[in-house]
Structures are given as C-alpha cells and as structure tokens.
C-alpha cells in the first residue's frame, strides 16, 4: 500500500502531536520536511526522519536542541515541541510499516543566505557571533551518536580513495591535491586539538537572514558531529565564499566576530585556509559518490558543484601567504607567525647590514617630507599626492624621505588606498641601489603603468635567518633588471640596479621605494602592495613592518600608525589587561584637544566636562612648550642640583599655608598618597588609618587598602584591619541633611567614636585622610565645620590630618586655591596630583617640616622620576597659566553660571534632586522621586550616552551612580557652559521625561 508523503505527514502530525494545519513540503536531502501553518496561524517545521536514519542520530538531534534550549534560550535556533505523550521524538509507522521518527520545532523566519537579497560584512559578523555562542554552549555537550561520519572534515583524509570518482580531470586533480595537503599538513597539526560537538553544517541554505541582513536563524542539525571546533568555521566560511565577489572580505568579519566571543587558537587560524579548501574537496567527493549511487540526480548535483568549484578556484587563485595572514589576523592573531622571530633577528643582526644607497644618510642630510595627514597643513582638496610632492620637493635642501605609514588621505581624495607601506628615499636617477644583506632574487618586474613602480626587485633573505623574509625595491631602472633572473644569489653590497628616471617609473621624481615583507604576499612583483586601505593598517603593519629596521636611518622614518576605532578596540583587548575599562557603549577615539574641547578621529568635537587633569586646557601651548623645551635640554633626577625642582617647591609653598613648607615631588596622586601614609606613620608611630566612606585615594596596594570605594566595591577584599571608615557626610541623603544645625560637628562625632574604638583596642591612629570635597562619594561638599572638628579630634589622638587635593586643588573651587581652605583648616599634609602637570604625570606632597624631618630617619627616599626637571617645568607652567589667565576667577564665574543653570533646570526636570559643588567641581544628583530619593542611575547613564552624541562628555559618580560629575578644564567659556545647559535641557526632556 502506498501513501503520499504529504498524506502521511498530515496523519503523523496529527497522531503524534495533535496538530493540524496546512503542510508545504520543503527540500531535504534525506528527511521529509514540511512547513506547517496551523489554523491559529502558528507556524512549525515538521520533520519526518528518513526511515534508514539510525535512531540514535535522530535522538542526537533532539538531545542537542534540548540542550541548546536550556543553555542558550536567546539564540535563534529551532525549539523542540514534545509529542502528545511527552516524547521528544515520537515514532509512527509509515505505510510500508517502517518506523519513522518525527520532530516538530518552531518555525524560524528569514531568507536563506543563498537567497537573501541583502548580505554583507554585517551578516557574516552576525553569523560569527551566533556560531561562537553556539559552539561555546556545545562545549559540554556529549552524545554517543555524535561520532564522525562521511562529511566530517576531520575524516577527509579517508576520502582520498574516492577522489577518482570525480569525473572532470581538473577538478579531480585539484581535489586530490587539496586532500593530500590536508593529510600531510593539516591533520598532524590539528591532531592534538580538543574535539567537541559542533553544528557542522552552517552552509548557505541553513543560515537564515532577516530583512536587514542579520542572521535570524540556524537550522538543520542533521550534520552535528564531534570534531575539531574550527571545522564549524571552515564550513561556514566555505559557503560564505560561494558566490562572493571577494571571498576573504566576507570571511573576515565571520572570523572576527567569532573570535571576539570564542577565542580561536593560533594553529586553527593558521589552518583555516586549507580547511576551507578541504571542505570544497569533501563536497566534490561526496557529490561524485552520490551521482554514482543515484545517477538520476547527477545533473542536479553537478550544477551545485559548479558553484563550489568556482569558489574553490577563486580561493586557490589567491596568494596563499596573504590569504593565510589575513585569516590569521581576522582570528585575532599576528598576521605572520614568523614576524616576531624576524623582528628579533633583525634587531640582533642589523649592525651587519650595508647601506642601500651609496650616500650619506644622516640626521644632517635627511629631510622628512612634510606630507601626510598628520603633517601637511597646506594640502588642498583636489590635489594629488604627486602634485603636492612636486610643490614640496624643490624647497627641500637635503635628502627627502617619505615616511612609512604616511597617510596620504588629504591628497588623491576618494582613493581607497592611502597608507604608504614603505620608506621613499629621493636621490638622483642613476644612483646605485645596493643589497643591504645577502639573499636571492625572488621576483623581478616592471610596472610601467602611470603612478606605477617602474622596475622592481624583491629579494628573499634566508641565510642565517630563522625565517625567510623579503625586501622589495621599487622605481629602479628597468634596463638594469635584465641581468637578473629569479633565484640568482645576491651578496651584501651588490648593486641591484640604479634608480630609474621619472619617465621610467610611473612619472614619479626619482626615488627608491623600499619595503620589508615578512611574507611574500604577491606572485608577481608588479602586484606589490605599496599603499593600502586605512582599515587594513593593522593587518599590513604585521606583514610589511617599518623597513627602517633594514635601513637603520637615524631619523624617525615612520608616521604614527592610526588604527580605525573598531580595530583599535580589538587590538587593545588583545594587548591591554581587561581590568582597564573604556567609557561609553561605543568608545571614543580622541586624537586632539584644545581648551575644553576634544576632537575625535572622525573630526567630531566634544566639550570635555569631566577632565580635571587638563586643568588649564587641553594641550595648553605654554605647558607644551615648557615640557618640550626642558625635554630638549635635559632630563635627569633629583640627585643633581636643578633649578626647576627648587623653584617649583618654592612656588608651591608660597601658595600653601606657611606651616606646609616641605615638599616632595612624585609621579601621581597615588604616589603622593602612599608617601603621605609613610610620612604619617614615621611621624606618629601609629599604624591605623581613618578614611571617609566611599573614598578613593589611589591605585597602589596601600591605597586600595584605604579606599572603601574599591575594597567594598566589585572584586574588593573588604576592609583591612588597620583601616577605620568614618561616615560620609552627605547632606542630601545622609543622616543629617541640608538645613539641620551643626551638621559638620555632628557628622564628625563619628570620627570621635572610631578614635575611641581603636584606642580601646590599643591601636594608634597614624592618619586621617579626607578629600575636602568628596569625589567618588558623589561630588559632595562637606558641611561647614566638618574638617575643623574632625581634625581636632584626630590630632588630639596623636594622628596627622591629610587633605587629598588630588581632584580638587589648584584653584578649581574658584574662591580658594586649595579646597581645604574652604573648611578653614590647615592640614598637616596635603597631597596633589591630576591637575598639577596638566596631564604630565606628576604629583606632590607638602607637609609640615617636622613631619619631613621624622621621615629622614636614615633611609633614603629616592624616586627615579619624581621631581625631574621636565616635570617641574610642566608644574611651573601650570602655576603660571592659572595666574596669568585668571583661571580661579573663571572657575568661580563658570561654577556660578552652571549652578544657577542647573538649579533653574531643576524647576522643570524633577529628575534633578540636588545641585551642589564649589567652583568647577560640581555634582548634579538625579532621583526618580524627590521624596524617596530613589536613584535615577539608568536615566543618568542614558543622559551621559545621549549627551555624548550631542557633543558633550559627562560621566557618573557616587555610590549609586546617579550623580552627574562636572569638573571641566578651568578654561571653559561662558558660551560653552551655556551650550552644555541648553543641550542637557533638551536631552533631559527626551530621556528623563
């Protein structure tokens, strides 16, 4: 008896799942697949597994779907419906009496990759993210049926015998060659790699995309297999490349996105190129097998094989070292594995290299061309690099040098390639070009096109080197090259050729283009990549590093390399510890600053409302000049007499109360606080330290210990025994609030209590640390009389009082130079940092001379950099600018303007709970409810993000992350403050309602 498959499906669906609906057959290699639309509009995928499918394979698929449902409920994967009796895989006999396993899953919307209209780098990246998360979830999934099967790449070597089934001789030859390489090179290198279960078939018919081209689903778990994890990527990459104009360009984002979520091992990255080709070979062998088994299908199978063959041919036509380097780099690795060894070898052996030109290339003779995006202020729209060069060259007296990494974007506008990968040395036509080290001729070419290279030679160097590397020479006289053939040996100092004339080398003035290559990324010399697209700079820097390693020219022959923000973020993640965080959801790449303005690399300008380091304005010319001038004269340490150190200490003490006449210069606020701690302990003999709750005093171990903000925060180890935490006086949400009498002394009573407690335990107080305005506490102004009362108690107990002015000193509060002065006290020790050098790393401690004397107990205090002449020069310039530009008056006026502005905004924005501060150290506390004071931290985060888009940089502060922190450079103008108020008004309307 026969039964039409759809009739059977209707019956099975109803019997097993109690579901009825319209069934549309879908393509499937073995199984019967149907799209089901139920009467209520619900859509499902109904699968009737092939009768000959081993039951455990069907069970495997069900098990994996269930595992993923638990592990990754948010991934766009099919979700399993259980049968009427709770079975994952109900079984029903078909008309032939064969048991058929059934599976019902959710229907995933989308268009298959192969049919999608819109698919681009973003699509590939979204697939990479999905596969990475899928594979991570599958790392702990095991199932006995996930055993290797014919399509598994890991077993490709066993297909070698069936290669002969491929009828077309060329395809047969190529597939055999690929499988041979796989067996010989890939298998041994992957042999030790751990295996895990993967989807195994993220091909262009199993990946679904939404209308925006983002992955909306991954279907078909029929090829699930336990194998090397990298095979997941090899399969996906192989199919993304099918039909792609530039196969590598579509594979790169797949790998980048995957690697960002699930690191790809270097050996995996190295072998991906071969694994992709192997996948094509497997596909060809399998198709050949099937067409032999089912001759009726042969024509159909061959058509899909044509696509595979085209992709395979395109990938094989690529330069292998370049493709491998690109894939390695996309996976997050150094593009060329040998780069490190080559660099190290050149560093050790460079002294043996000979001159490339027989000319004096010295600091006196070389002239770096004033070209490139970072130097040329006279470039005009529409002018080409060649034209600009022609303008500049005649004015140069000496040997012009074009820099490596020079960005030619200001010229040749619209060109994709703008970063120069070589050094250009301008010398007369006919100048001999000599081999700097032995090698042999690798490539010879003549690029006679306009703007071309003219005669080119590429030398390969391997004698004595750990890895081969190459040097390339362009703009040679083509006639000279006739004497060479590939493979000829070349000795150090041998003349390779002479510089060509302008007519011979693409119209350029005579010069040598010299490039270093860690991989031979071209098959023909004419294809040498001399200028590259800026987005590829980090890839190419790895392939073609600064050739001055070969030349040893005594000048900086390289322009600063500018990475695109996305690439920079990846590189940063690779090399910089993850404990360093970045601001904003999309971090900024700032490249310039002036006054209170920061300029991002895309030219966008931002008002900087949070930088109390660049106190007198970003890159203030007087500070820059002072630093540069002193750095050009001398930089040493405090073991020699130097005017700057003494002059600085003198200037600083004249700004402090006369009691604080001893000064130490250090390198940061943290170092200042650490030294203050040592001074206090030496002077008092005590061990205990008292701080205010939520305070932060620096990043050294000694200071993390006394910073509740850190030790009580995420990752903190809690309060150490020697530390005593006093209540934070918070007049807005604390125990005693605005308007209550004697708030200062009453908050200070807690200091008294703690002092009593610690002396009761027979401990002695060394120091009481306090910021005169509280930063991490939430930009709080201390209540009147607080420090006076607390200091008196601490001193009575034998301790010293330390004012941490790292955030708030140097005139920021407007009314006084130091914030402690607003409390009418004189501390025993004052510590300084941040603004002191306007960004130059510097700090200082001022104390009473008897404290400094107690510290001089025979042990020398030496600080290599602290107080060096350059730092002291920076510090002096900052003091001059604060005075000469009347910045304290500006701090006071702008502080008043902002305070009044925010107070008036508070009248219409109920989210503003409190506006406080002194001068340009302000906090605006946001609350969801002015009675309960529930913190509006989410609103604040949103405001900070949106204000960034509006061109104003702000940040959050306080224990509840709900205080808008405002502490701009003191030079901020009235108009700039007005802009900030206007923008924040608009943003609060939008974000906080």
Ligand X SMILES: Cc1ncc(COP(=O)(O)O)c(C=O)c1O
Residues forming contacts to ligand X in the complex (CB under 6 A) are 668-670, 673, 696-699, 771, 775, 804, 806-807, 833-834
Smallest separation, CB 720 to ligand X (Å): 18
The nearer residue to ligand X, 834 or 840, going by C-beta atoms, is 834
b/e per residue 225-251 (b: at least 16 CB within 10 A): bbbbbbbbbbbbbbbbbbbbeebbebb
The nearer residue to ligand X, 278 or 612, going by C-beta atoms, is 612
b/e per residue 259-278 (b: at least 16 CB within 10 A): bbebebbebbbbbbbbbbbb
Spatial CA neighbour of 5 closest among 28, 19, 107: 28
Spatial CA neighbour of 894 closest among 918, 925, 878, 916: 918
> CB atoms < 10 A from the CB of 821, how many?
16
Task: Tell whether the torsion through CA atoms of 757, 760, 763 and 766 is positive or negative.
Answer: positive
The nearer residue to ligand X, 123 or 673, going by C-beta atoms, is 673
The nearer residue to ligand X, 33 or 831, going by C-beta atoms, is 831
Smallest separation, CB 782 to ligand X (Å): 14
The nearer residue to ligand X, 279 or 816, going by C-beta atoms, is 816
Residue 341, CA distances (Å) to 143, 334, 384, 466, 974 in order: 43, 12, 38, 7, 56
How far apart CA 463 and CA 340 sit, in angstroms, is 17
Smallest separation, CB 778 to ligand X (Å): 13
> What are the residues whose beta carbons fall under 8 Å from the beta carbon of 647, sequence distance 6 or more?
872, 876
User: At 60, phi and psi to the nearest 5?
Assistant: -55, -45
Q: What DSSP string runs through 445-466?
A: EEE-STT--EEEEEEEE-TT-S
For the chain, the farthest-separated pair of C-alpha atoms sits apart, in whole angstroms, at 110
Smallest separation, CB 667 to ligand X (Å): 8
The nearer residue to ligand X, 803 or 887, going by C-beta atoms, is 803
The nearer residue to ligand X, 771 or 925, going by C-beta atoms, is 771
Smallest separation, CB 791 to ligand X (Å): 18
The nearer residue to ligand X, 63 or 806, going by C-beta atoms, is 806
The nearer residue to ligand X, 444 or 703, going by C-beta atoms, is 703
Smallest separation, CB 271 to ligand X (Å): 45
Residue nearest to ligand X (CB): 669
The nearer residue to ligand X, 516 or 666, going by C-beta atoms, is 666
Smallest separation, CB 781 to ligand X (Å): 15
Smallest separation, CB 673 to ligand X (Å): 6
Smallest separation, CB 630 to ligand X (Å): 21
- Alpha-carbon Rg for the chain, nearest whole angstrom, is 36
Q: Which H, E and C letters describe 768-789, residue by residue? A: EEECCEECCCCCEECCCCHHHH
The nearer residue to ligand X, 452 or 875, going by C-beta atoms, is 875
Is residue 771 a contact partner of residue 812, using CB atoms and an 8 Å limit? no
Smallest separation, CB 611 to ligand X (Å): 12
Strand, helix or coil for residue 531: strand
The nearer residue to ligand X, 804 or 828, going by C-beta atoms, is 804
The nearer residue to ligand X, 227 or 668, going by C-beta atoms, is 668
> CB atoms < 10 A from the CB of 671, how many?
26
- Number of Cα atoms under 13 Å in the Cβ half of residue 207: 30
**Pairing of β 723-726 and β 688-692:** parallel
The nearer residue to ligand X, 669 or 919, going by C-beta atoms, is 669
> CB atoms < 10 A from the CB of 737, how many?
12
Smallest separation, CB 141 to ligand X (Å): 46
Smallest separation, CB 948 to ligand X (Å): 21
> What are the residues whose beta carbons fall under 8 Å from the beta carbon of 70, sequence distance 6 or more?
none
How far apart CA 871 and CA 879 sit, in angstroms, is 13
> CB atoms < 10 A from the CB of 929, how many?
12
The nearer residue to ligand X, 730 or 771, going by C-beta atoms, is 771
> What are the residues whose beta carbons fall under 8 Å from the beta carbon of 875, sequence distance 6 or more?
648, 652, 665, 836, 837, 840, 842, 844
- Number of Cα atoms under 13 Å in the Cβ half of residue 770: 30
Spatial CA neighbour of 825 closest among 855, 802, 798: 802
The nearer residue to ligand X, 384 or 702, going by C-beta atoms, is 702
Smallest separation, CB 707 to ligand X (Å): 8
- Using CB atoms within 10 Å of the CB of residue 27, give its burial: 0 to 12 exposed, 13 to 18 middle, 19+ buried: exposed
> What are the residues whose beta carbons fall under 8 Å from the beta carbon of 408, sequence distance 6 or more?
371, 372, 373, 385, 415, 418, 419, 420, 531
Smallest separation, CB 903 to ligand X (Å): 26
Smallest separation, CB 848 to ligand X (Å): 20
b/e per residue 149-172 (b: at least 16 CB within 10 A): eebbbbebeebbebbebbeeeebb
Smallest separation, CB 699 to ligand X (Å): 6
Is residue 369 a contact partner of residue 401, using CB atoms and an 8 Å limit? yes
Provide the angle, in degrees to the nearest 10, between the axes of the packed helices 247-261 and 565-575. Answer: 40
Smallest separation, CB 595 to ligand X (Å): 22
The nearer residue to ligand X, 353 or 696, going by C-beta atoms, is 696
Smallest separation, CB 590 to ligand X (Å): 19
Spatial CA neighbour of 891 closest among 815, 782, 955: 815
E strand intervals along 57-209: 80-81, 91-93, 99-106, 111-112, 195-198, 207-209
The nearer residue to ligand X, 200 or 833, going by C-beta atoms, is 833
């Amino acid at each position: 008896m026969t039964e039409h498959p759809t009739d059977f499906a209707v019956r099975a669906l109803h019997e097993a799942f109690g579901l009825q609906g319209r069934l549309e057959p879908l393509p499937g290699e073995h199984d019967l697949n149907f799209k089901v639309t139920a009467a209520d509009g619900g859509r499902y995928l109904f699968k009737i597994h092939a009768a000959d499918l081993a039951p455990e394979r069907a069970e495997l698929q069900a098990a994996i779907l269930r595992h993923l449902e638990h592990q990754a409920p948010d991934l766009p994967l099919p979700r399993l419906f259980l049968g009427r009796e709770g079975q994952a895989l109900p079984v029903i006999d078909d008309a032939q009496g064969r048991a058929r396993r059934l599976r019902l899953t959710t229907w995933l919307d989308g268009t298959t990759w192969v049919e999608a209209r819109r698919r681009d780098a973003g699509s590939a990246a979204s697939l990479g993210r999905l596969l990475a998360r899928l594979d991570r979830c599958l790392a702990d999934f095991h199932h006995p049926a996930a055993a290797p099967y014919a399509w598994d790449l890991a077993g490709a070597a066993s297909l070698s015998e069936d290669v002969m089934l491929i009828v077309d001789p060329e395809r047969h030859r190529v597939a055999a060659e690929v499988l041979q390489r796989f067996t010989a090179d890939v298998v041994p290198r992957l042999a030790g790699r751990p295996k895990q279960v993967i989807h195994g078939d993220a091909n262009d018919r199993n990946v679904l995309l939404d209308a925006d081209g983002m992955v909306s689903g991954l279907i078909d778990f029929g090829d699930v297999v336990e194998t090397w994890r990298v095979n997941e990527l090899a399969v996906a990459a192989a199919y993304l490349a099918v039909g792609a104009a530039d196969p590598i360009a579509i594979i790169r984002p797949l790998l980048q996105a995957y690697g960002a979520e699930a690191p790809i091992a270097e050996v995996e990255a190295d072998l991906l190129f071969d694994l992709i080709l192997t996948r094509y070979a497997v596909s060809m062998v399998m198709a050949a097998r099937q067409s032999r088994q089912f001759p009726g299908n042969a024509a159909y199978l061959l058509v899909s094989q044509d696509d595979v063959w085209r992709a395979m041919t395109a990938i094989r036509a690529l330069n292998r070292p370049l493709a491998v380097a690109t894939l390695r780099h996309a996976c997050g690795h150094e593009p060329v594995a040998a780069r490190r060894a080559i660099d190290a070898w050149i560093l050790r052996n460079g002294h043996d290299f000979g001159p490339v030109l027989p000319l004096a290339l010295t600091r006196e003779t070389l002239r770096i061309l004033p070209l490139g995006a970072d130097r040329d202020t006279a470039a005009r729209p529409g002018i080409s690099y060649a034209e600009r060069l022609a303008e500049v060259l005649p004015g140069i007296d000496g040997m012009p040098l074009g820099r490596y990494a020079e960005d030619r974007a200001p010229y040749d506008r619209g060109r994709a390639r703008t970063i120069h990968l070589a050094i250009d040395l301008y010398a007369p036509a006919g100048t001999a070009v000599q081999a700097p080290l032995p090698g042999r001729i690798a490539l010879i070419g003549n690029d006679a096109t306009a703007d071309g290279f003219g005669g080119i030679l590429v030398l390969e160097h391997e004698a004595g080197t750990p890895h081969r590397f190459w040097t390339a020479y362009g703009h040679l006289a083509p006639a000279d090259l006739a004497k060479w053939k590939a493979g000829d040996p070349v000795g150090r100092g041998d003349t390779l050729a002479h510089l060509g004339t302008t007519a011979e080398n693409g119209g350029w003035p005579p010069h040598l283009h010299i490039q270093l290559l860690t991989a031979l990324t071209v098959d023909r010399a004419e294809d040498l990549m001399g200028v590259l697209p800026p987005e590829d700079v980090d890839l190419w820097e790895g392939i073609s590093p600064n050739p001055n390693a070969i030349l040893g020219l005594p000048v900086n022959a390289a322009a600063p390399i500018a990475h695109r923000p996305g690439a920079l973020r990846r590189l940063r993640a690779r090399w910089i510890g993850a404990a360093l965080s970045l601001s904003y959801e999309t971090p900024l790449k700032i490249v310039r600053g002036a006054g209170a303005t920061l300029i991002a690399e895309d030219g966008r300008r931002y008002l900087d409302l949070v930088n109390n380091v660049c106190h007198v304005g970003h890159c203030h010319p007087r500070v820059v000049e002072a630093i540069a001038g002193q750095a050009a004269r001398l930089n040493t340490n405090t073991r020699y007499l130097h005017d700057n150190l003494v002059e600085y200490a003198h200037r600083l003490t004249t700004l402090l109360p006369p009691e604080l006449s001893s000064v130490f210069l250090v390198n940061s606020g943290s170092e200042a606080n650490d030294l203050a701690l040592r001074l206090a302990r030496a002077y008092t003999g005590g061990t205990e330290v008292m701080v205010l709750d939520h305070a932060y005093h620096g990043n050294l171990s000694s200071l993390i210990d006394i910073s509740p903000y850190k030790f009580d925060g995420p990752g903190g180890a809690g309060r150490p025994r020697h530390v005593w935490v006093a209540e934070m006086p918070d007049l807005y949400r604390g125990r005693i609030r605005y308007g209550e009498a004697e708030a200062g002394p009453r908050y200070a009573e807690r200091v008294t209590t703690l002092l009593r407690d610690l002396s009761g335990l027979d401990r002695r107080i060394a120091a009481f640390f306090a910021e005169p305005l509280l930063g991490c506490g939430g930009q709080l102004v201390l209540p009147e009389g607080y420090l006076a009362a607390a200091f008196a108690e601490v001193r009575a107990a034998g301790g010293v009082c330390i004012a941490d002015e790292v955030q708030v000193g140097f005139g920021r509060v407007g009314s006084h130079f130091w914030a402690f002065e607003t409390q009418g006290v004189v501390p025993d020790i004052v510590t300084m940092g941040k603004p002191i050098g306007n960004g130059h790393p510097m700090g200082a401690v001022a104390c009473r001379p008897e404290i400094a004397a107690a510290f001089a107990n025979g042990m020398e205090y030496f600080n290599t950099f602290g107080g060096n002449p350059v730092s002291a020069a920076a510090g002096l310039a900052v003091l001059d600018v604060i005075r000469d530009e009347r910045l304290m008056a500006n701090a006071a006026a702008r502080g008043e303007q902002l305070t009044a502005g925010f107070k008036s905004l508070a009248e219409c924005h109920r989210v503003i709970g409190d506006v406080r501060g002194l001068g340009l150290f302000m906090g605006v506390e946001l609350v969801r409810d002015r009675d309960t004071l529930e913190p509006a931290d989410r609103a604040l985060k949103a405001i900070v993000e949106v204000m960034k888009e509006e061109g104003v940089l702000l940040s959050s502060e306080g224990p509840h992350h709900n205080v808008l922190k405002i502490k701009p450079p003191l030079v901020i103008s009235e108009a700039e403050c007005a802009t900030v108020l206007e923008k924040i008004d608009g943003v609060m309307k939008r974000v906080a309602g």
